[in-house]
Amino acid sequence: MTTILVVEDEIAVATVVQKSLQKMGYQVPSIASTGEDALRLAGEVKPNLVLMDIGLKGRMDGIKAAEAIRDHHELPVVYLTGYADEERLSRARVTDAYGYILKPFNNNELRSTIEMALYKHQMAQQLKERERWFSTTLRSIGDAVIAVDKEERITFLNPRAEALTGWSAKDAEGRPLQEVYSVVEEEGRAPVESPAARVLRDTPRPPVDLLLLGRDGNEVSVEDSASVIRDEKGNVLGVVVSFRDVTERKRLEKRLAISERMASLGTLAAGIAHEINNPLAYVLTNMEFCRKALDRVAAAPQDVGRYLDEVRAALQEAVEGADRMRRIVADVKTFSRPEGEERTGLDVRAVLDASLKMVSHLIPPNAQVLRVFGDVPSLSGNESRMGQLFVNLLTNAAQSLPLEGDQTITVTTRPGPGPSAIVEVHDTGTGIAPEVLRRMFDPFFSTKPVGVGTGLGLAICHRIVTDQGGEIRVESQVGRGTTFTVILPVHSSARDSQPPRRVKRRILVVDTDPGVTALLQELLDSALEIVTAKSAQEVVARAAHEQFDAILCDMAMGDMTGMELYAALSAKSPELAGRLVFIRGADSPQVQSFLQRIPNRWLSRPLEPDHVRKVLGPLLQ
């Protein structure tokens, strides 16, 4: 039954029109009294036709409402009005209305106008479908094109498709698509489902390199796409498949990937040098001190006791420096593995930590780097290529930060839709203009001066992500900053398991006693990350953006007491307030009472190794 939406702001007139239409056999489920209501009901009711009064009251008259309905829902509109002035008629014409009825009207006139409008609309939709068919074919004509019917039997090949498949259009006609367009996976040569069958089921295919096996024995690397062809009623008529030879392009992309990887070595080498210089200084300075101390002991053996404690302390610092260099070398393996290594399960947070270290020398001294690492499952990817991806994104973020004002880079991980995880790199930099944003992932496109950038970094990032079966997006506002969002698939072995705990446990220490940091590093697991804050206020600020497994602080700090810090954190993050561990000394009665009231753990000075492990152990599991 034909459904009509009546739009009339005079309820008496609307009721009369509704009854008249119902007597004619039309269905009128709703009446709208304003343009806004008409637009909303057009989407909800989905009528076959809209009968629209031009002179609606309010901000949206009938003509504006008809324009909106046409643009959003492609419904035919017939105007119903008591006015016939030229100005209204001129405005109404540009809305492509299907009829115009003056009040008062008779039922025969109304019915004939409606039926004519419905017929014209049906013909227009059929024409639009034909135009869609031809426009799809014409758009693909530069590539190879094969058209099939709904049984996937070939009805058309263009000359380019004949050349690539080795089949003539005459020989191919009527044959199954799979016989003529025979594709396999380039790696492993596993058969690939017909693109027509896939698109008919509306099933996306994961990214895979395709190899077309020609009738004449030629093998060509191809990319394909397919579109369903439907009639005006939504019935499937067939599928058009387009594909192109990408053999030369892939060969060039491999060379470009190597070129970009070599260009990244400069950033990597500078990062390693920056990271390793400080611990190397610890080792060299303390070993030199030990050498001189031993020379003095050799000259005066009776003074050996005097130098022994100093030598032990110096050797401990040298050991810490050497251990730090060991961990840096371990991080470098993320970037040094072969390009062709197969995908494995990897912890994206560990790769991000290593990448941040590699680009730390590029980040301005006063800039803030926030790690908001949520628990995500193991990802499916190549560790080396993931490292390259994040180094490129972090390098762009660091280079975009302003010289003054807010200088912040925020790196976030969180679960994504379905079996995936999301990594976001956000900066408060200069932002990207819309006309530039559209070309961000184009090869050789760069806004940097000549000699500074290759224009390949983001193109390589895009290729790395898509090759891993993921997706990369960019959002930016000029003067507000940029966010790159990477969506990556979960490793198959982790899809049905619980997300693993974070590899790196983080402890924040308010830096009132540097010895506490050194002791923790010595006592606890090497996978532990110890971060320092200079004040209690900094702890409160960082707690809003970063995650910590424990926070160590004195009961008395320069800008705030431990009790005040506990209250401030409880207001912003009660869960994190529960992870405060207090270091107490000669406590006042007020402090003693406070510690008895709260469930938090505490350490007493001087710190004893066994007690430190006992107190912090449960928080780091």
Express each pLDDT in 332-364 by its tens digit.
554 544 444 456 678 888 889 888 877 877 888
Mean pLDDT of 71-99: 77
The domain that contains 601 carries what CATH number? 3.40.50.2300
| Cβ proximity of 402 and 478 under 8 Å | no
Mean per-residue pLDDT over the chain, rounded: 80
Please answer whether residues 213 and 191 qualify as being in contact, where contact means their C-beta atoms are separated by less than 8 angstroms: no
- Compute CA distances 107 → 20, 55, 170, 223, 502, whole Å: 7, 21, 57, 58, 74
Domain range for 521 is 506-620
**472, β-bridge pairs:** 486
> What's the rounded Cα separation, in Å, for the pair 36 and 172?
54
Both tokens of residue 421?
Answer: 């995880």
Q: Rounded distance, CA 226 to CA 229, Å?
A: 10
Of 541, 560, 438, 414, residue with least CA distance to 487: 414
538 and 577 in a common domain: yes
Strands 49-53 and 31-32: unpaired
pLDDT grade for 424, boundaries at 50, 70 and 90: very high
Q: How many CB atoms lie within 10 A of CB 431?
A: 17
Q: Are 112 and 94 found together in one domain?
A: yes
- Supply the pLDDT for residue 493: 54
The answer to whether the Cα torsion of 532, 537, 540, 544 is positive or negative is: negative
State which of 106, 127, 148 marks the end of a domain: 127
Of 60, 95, 127, the domain-final residue: 127
| DSSP state at residue 94 | T
Of 209, 227, 245, the one marking the end of a domain is: 245
Neighbours of 249 (CB within 10 A): 12
Cα gap 93→109, rounded to integer Å: 20
Question: Do 114 and 160 fall into the same domain?
Answer: no
Residue 431 C-alpha from the chain's centroid = 17
Cα gap 79→95, rounded to integer Å: 11
Work out the average pLDDT over 147-176.
90
DSSP secondary structure string for all residues of 128-148: HHHHHHHHHHHHTTTSEEEEE
In sign, the C-alpha dihedral spanning 587, 591, 596, 601 is negative
Please give the Cα distance from 433 to 594 (Å, whole number). Answer: 54
Q: Residues 414, 540: one domain?
A: no
**pLDDT of res. 451:** 39
| Total domain count, the chain | 4
Per-residue model confidence as pLDDT tens digits over 546-605 = 778 888 888 887 778 889 999 988 888 888 888 898 888 777 888 888 888 888 888 887
Both structure tokens of 486: 């990477």
Residue 554 lies in a domain: yes
Q: Whose structure tokens read 């990350």?
A: 529
User: Which 8-state DSSP code applies to residue 194?
Assistant: -
Q: Which residues of 284-318 are buried (b: 16+ CB within 10 A; e: fewer)?
A: eebbebbeebeeebeeeeeeeeebeeebeebeebb
- Give the pLDDT score at 153: 93
Q: Which band of pLDDT confidence, cut at 50, 70 and 90, is reported for residue 239?
A: very high
Q: In which order are the strands placed within the sheet that holds 368-373?
A: 368-373, 408-415, 420-427, 481-489, 471-477
Instruction: Please report whether residue 135 resides in a domain.
Output: no
Same domain, 224 and 271: no
The answer to whether 580 and 551 are in contact (CB under 8 A) is yes
Q: How far is residue 211's CA from residue 243's CA, in Å, rounded to a whole number?
A: 11
Q: Is residue 32 included in any domain, yes or no?
A: yes
In this structure, the answer to whether residues 567 and 612 fall within a common structural domain is yes
Distance CA 102, CA 203 (A): 51
Q: Say yes or no: 329 and 448 in one domain.
A: yes
| 261 closest CA partner among 406, 392, 123 | 392
- Please, which residues bridge with residue 414 across strands? 422
Tell me the one-letter amino acid at 14: A
Share of the chain above pLDDT 70, in %: 81
Cβ neighbours for 167, distance < 8 A, ≥ 6 positions apart: 157, 161, 175, 180, 215
Q: Does residue 134 lie within any of the structural domains?
A: no
Residues 296 and 427 in one domain: yes
Q: How confident is the model at residue 454 (pLDDT cuts 50, 70, 90)?
A: very low
Answer with the residue of higher pLDDT: 52 or 252: 52
409 — pLDDT class (breaks 50, 70, 90):
very high
Region 67-77: mean pLDDT is 89
User: Where are the strands (E) in 469-579, listed by range?
Assistant: 471-477, 481-489, 506-510, 529-533, 550-554
CA distance linking residue 24 with residue 77, whole number of Å: 18
What tokens were used for 240?
């058009």
The yes-or-no verdict on residue 450 having pLDDT over 50 is: no
Closest C-alpha among 581, 512, 574 to residue 543: 574
pLDDT 10s digits, 173-231 = 999 999 999 999 888 888 888 888 888 888 777 667 899 999 988 899 998 989 898 88
When mean pLDDT is compared across 35-44, 107-116, 526-535, the lowest value belongs to 526-535
pLDDT value of position 252? 75
**Does residue 368 or residue 439 have the better pLDDT?**
368
| 582 in any annotated domain | yes
Least confident stretch, 339-353, 383-397, 430-444 = 339-353
Tell me, yes or no, whether 362 and 419 share the same domain: yes
Look at residue 54 and tell me whether its pLDDT is greater than 70: yes
CATH for 232 = 3.30.450.20
Same domain, 463 and 431: yes
pTM to 2 decimal places: 0.39
Q: What is the CATH number of the domain that holds 300?
A: 3.30.565.10
Query: Is 133 inside any structural domain?
Result: no
pLDDT(244) > 60: yes
Residue 501 counted as domain residue: no
Are 265 and 395 within one domain? yes
Q: Is the peptide bond before 606 cis (omega within 30 degrees of 0)?
A: yes
- Which conformational region is residue 570 in: left (phi greater than 0), alpha (psi within -120 to 50 degrees), or beta? alpha
Please state, in angstroms and as integers, the Cα–Cα distance from residue 308 to each residue in 151, 299, 538, 619, following that order: 89, 15, 39, 37
Q: Which two tokens stand for residue 82?
A: 């008591």
Give the CA distances from residue 534 to residues 162, 285, 373, 537, in Å, rounded to whole numbers and listed in that order. Answer: 71, 26, 22, 8
132 located within any domain = no
Statement to judge: residues 234 and 263 lie in one domain: no
